[in-house]
């Protein structure tokens, strides 16, 4: 199965070395597909395990003993396989777990020559807060990203599991409409278009069948990402907005300055300034504004922290500023999260302060998506 996508902001998949990408790694794409599949099926009511847990009972595992027992009792291979899968969640049935390999192989068709030198931008000078942090998270020497009009994903399914093709198409459709693909999407990477995308209603219908047919009675932890807590703001910002001009004229580049100049009329990689703290503007930036209003601890709960033993990821994701095609004058900005719905209102107000000329955003929520039917 061939899946054609178009990258709108740089695609990052990580690599062997932390903070550096040497090529496009399939694992970064597969990981994001699984992450979204987990969140959507949890929202639909299915039990989904925690594959990263240190506690074995919280992770799925194919029951080899049950499988062998069923064969000894005269059941055919298909029936025995279902016995082995009885405690395997729907996500692991597709993406694999201990004793059960992933039902498909994924390859990326893209020329290594299309990789571009890594670059991000911030209004902070070198060694200042945002500039310093981004320089710690990402390597700037011999680092790459992918930003080209097209990218082909080839998915090859194990015989007998071709029906999952529709699941991947539905999953990719929702990610294109409401999220991103690849790694480090909270830093603005991975916005993409999927020209063959299904409608949200059709996509949810396909994925709903997975939740119905493979539903389990276990409960997942309340802090796991779930579509029930999801919201998304799609913003349109005129190119003559004062903040857009400031990013164009006064941004400092982390990485390759030539790449920034080449692509700045198509993509401004300034997600971190928007999500964290906007330099030169004390009260601006989503996390900064929320911290001043609600306190440091509440800000950490939703925007993440790496302090001491309290380490958890952001529940709010912000794209870079990007244009959907060469003819667009205005920039797009996508902000999405898995939080209490009130936070969407706070962030909408924060965005109005950052981008005074921005148009009213298109709003979507998980509960609305869960109700979508063709």
pLDDT at 97: 95
**CB of 229 within 8 A of CB of 338?**
yes
Q: How far is it, in rounded angstroms, from Cα 300 to Cα 277?
A: 13
pLDDT of residue 78: 92
Categorize the per-residue pLDDT at 213 as very low, low, confident or very high, splitting at 50, 70 and 90: low
- pLDDT tops 90 at residue 305: no
The neighbouring-strand residues paired with 122 are 252
Mean pLDDT of the chain: 92
CB 50 within 8 A of CB 221: yes
pLDDT band at residue 162 under the 50/70/90 scheme: very high
Q: Tell me: the pLDDT tens digits for 179-200?
A: 999 999 999 999 999 999 999 9
Asked if the model's pLDDT at residue 157 lies above 90, the reply is yes
User: What's the CA gap between 137 and 20, in Å, rounded?
Assistant: 9
One DSSP character per residue, 342-372 reads HHHHHHHHHHHHH-TTPPPPEEEEHHHHHT-
| pLDDT score, position 265 | 95
For residues 97-126, one letter each, b for 16 or more C-beta atoms within 10 angstroms of the residue's C-beta and e for the rest, the string is beebebbbebebebeeeebbbbbbbbbbee
Q: How much is the average pLDDT of 110-130?
A: 90
Nearby residues of 249 by Cβ (< 8 Å), 6 or more positions away: none
Higher-confidence position of 177 and 149: 177
Q: Which residues, at least 6 apart from 313, have a Cβ–Cβ distance to it below 8 Å?
A: 186, 304
> In the predicted model, what is the mean pLDDT of residues 320-343?
95
148-162, 170-184, 217-231, 322-336 — which is least confidently predicted? 217-231
Q: Does 222 score more than 70 pLDDT? A: no
- The answer to whether residues 319 and 191 touch, using CB atoms and an 8 Å cutoff, is yes
Q: Over the stretch 24-54, which tens digit does the pLDDT of each residue have?
A: 999 999 999 999 999 999 999 998 999 888 8
* 130 CB-near residues (< 8 Å, 6+ apart): 122, 123, 124, 272, 273, 276, 277, 279
Q: What is the CA radius of gyration of the chain?
A: 21
Burial class (CB in 10 A: 0-12, 13-18, 19+), 193: middle
Asked whether the predicted pLDDT for residue 221 surpasses 90, the reply is no
Return the beta strands (E) in the chain as ranges.
Answer: 2-7, 104-109, 115-117, 119-122, 144-146, 151-157, 192-193, 230-237, 252-255, 267-268, 305-307, 310-312, 316-318, 321-322, 331-338, 362-365
Residue-level pLDDT at 166? 97
Task: Quick: pLDDT tens for 71-114.
Answer: 999 999 999 999 999 999 999 999 999 999 999 999 998 877 78
pLDDT of the residue at 114:
84
Q: Is the pLDDT of residue 215 over 60?
A: no
Per-position b or e across 248-268, b if 16+ CB within 10 A of its CB: eeebbbbbbeebbeebbebbb
For the cut 60, the answer to whether the pLDDT of residue 308 exceeds it is no
Q: With contact defined as beta carbons under 8 Å apart, do 320 and 263 qualify?
A: no
pLDDT at position 217 = 56
């Amino acid at each position: 199965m061939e899946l054609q996508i178009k990258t709108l902001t740089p695609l990052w998949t990580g690599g062997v070395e932390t903070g550096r990408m040497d090529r496009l790694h399939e694992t970064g794409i597969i990981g994001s597909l699984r992450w979204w599949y987990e969140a959507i099926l949890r929202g639909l009511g299915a039990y989904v395990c925690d594959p990263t847990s240190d506690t074995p009972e919280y992770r799925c595992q194919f029951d080899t003993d049950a499988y062998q027992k069923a064969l000894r009792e005269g059941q055919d291979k298909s029936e025995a396989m279902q016995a082995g899968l009885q405690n395997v969640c729907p996500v692991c049935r597709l993406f694999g777990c201990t004793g059960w390999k992933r039902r498909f192989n994924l390859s990326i068709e893209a020329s290594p020559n299309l990789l571009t030198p890594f670059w991000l931008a911030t209004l902070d000078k070198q060694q200042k807060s945002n500039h310093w942090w981004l320089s710690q998270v990402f390597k700037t020497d011999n680092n790459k990203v992918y930003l080209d009009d097209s990218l082909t994903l080839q998915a090859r399914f194990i015989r007998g599991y071709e029906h999952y093709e529709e699941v991947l198409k539905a999953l990719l459709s929702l990610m294109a409409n409401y999220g991103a693909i690849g790694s480090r999407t909270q830093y603005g990477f991975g916005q993409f278009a999927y020209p063959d995308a299904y409608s949200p209603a059709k996509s949810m219908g396909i994925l709903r069948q997975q939740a119905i047919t493979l539903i389990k009675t276990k409960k997942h932890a309340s802090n796991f990402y779930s579509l029930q807590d999801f919201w998304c703001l799609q913003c349109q910002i005129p190119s003559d907005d004062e903040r857009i001009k400031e990013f164009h004229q006064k941004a400092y580049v982390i990485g390759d300055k030539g790449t920034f100049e080449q692509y700045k009329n198509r993509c401004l990689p300034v997600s971190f300034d928007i999500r964290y703290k906007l330099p030169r503007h004390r009260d601006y930036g989503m996390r900064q504004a929320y911290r001043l209003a609600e306190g440091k601890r509440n800000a950490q709960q939703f925007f993440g922290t790496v302090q001491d033993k309290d380490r958890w990821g952001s529940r709010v994701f912000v794209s870079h500023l990007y244009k959907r095609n060469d003819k667009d004058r205005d920039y797009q900005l996508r902000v999405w999260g898995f939080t209490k719905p009130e936070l969407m209102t706070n962030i909408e107000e924060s965005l109005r302060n950052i981008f005074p000329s921005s148009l009213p955003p298109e709003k979507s929520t998980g509960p609305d998506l869960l109700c979508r039917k063709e």
